[in-house]
């Protein structure tokens, strides 16, 4: 069931809005439920699937990408209160998708310095994942429901948190003998 939910969330992320800069005039695009008209030099928000398609065609530039500096900032802030689960840093809901796009971009780069940046990005992202997962497990075990804290989780992290929280809750109910 967890994999089904994760796949559904992954599909939904394609409909999240991405901030873009329009590089060339594009005709009106009918999305079925609305029309989008893009004028050169303007900034707009588009569904992720459309932004990716138009960026590959060279018509737009996505502006809300994750950078190496951004990864460094998130890692630094996570380390500040590494043992306090409620200190989980607010990141974009699609943080991991954007971070993986950065890694793919660095892998495909022909520049020599990109190899060093790739190594740094992978190391920072793995450390961020480790710290945040530890905090999420603690949040679930402590049954923290404060929306100010929970709203700092990414989509994937929220799924892990809610699944763990439900599992722990069911385990406690079963071990107390109130359920079979």
Output the pTM of the full model.
Answer: 0.77
Beta strand 43-47 with 17-22 is antiparallel
DSSP string, 142-158: TT---HHHHTTS-HHHH
- Which backbone phi and psi does 166 adopt, to 5 degrees? -65, -40
- Per-residue pLDDT 10s for the chain (180 aa) are 667 776 776 676 667 777 888 888 877 777 777 777 788 888 888 787 787 888 888 888 877 789 999 999 999 999 999 888 889 999 988 899 889 989 999 999 989 899 999 999 999 999 999 999 999 999 999 988 899 999 999 988 999 999 999 888 887 777 666 544
List the domains of the chain with CATH numbers: 2-62 (3.40.5.50), 68-175 (1.20.58.1030)
Interior/surface letters 130-139, b for 16+ CB within 10 angstroms, e for the rest: ebbeebbebb
- Residue 36 gets the label, from left (phi > 0), alpha (psi -120 to 50) or beta, of beta
């Amino acid at each position: 069931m967890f994999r089904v939910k994760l796949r559904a969330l992954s599909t939904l992320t394609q409909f999240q809005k991405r901030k873009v800069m329009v590089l060339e005039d594009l005709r009106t695009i009918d999305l079925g439920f609305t029309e989008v008209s893009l004028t050169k030099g303007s900034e707009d928000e588009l569904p992720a699937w459309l932004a990716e398609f138009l960026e590959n065609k060279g018509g737009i530039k996505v502006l809300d990408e994750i950078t190496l500096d951004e990864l460094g900032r998130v890692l630094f802030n996570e380390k500040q209160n590494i043992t306090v689960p409620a200190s989980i840093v607010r990141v974009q809901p699609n943080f991991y998708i954007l971070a993986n796009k950065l890694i793919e971009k660095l892998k495909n780069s022909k520049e020599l310095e990109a190899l060093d940046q790739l190594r740094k990005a992978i190391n920072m992202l793995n450390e961020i994942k480790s710290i945040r997962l530890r905090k999420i497990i603690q949040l679930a075990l402590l049954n923290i429901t404060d929306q100010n804290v929970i709203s700092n989780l990414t989509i994937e992290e929220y799924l892990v948190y809610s699944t763990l929280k439900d599992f722990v809750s069911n385990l406690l109910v079963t071990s107390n003998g109130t359920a079979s």
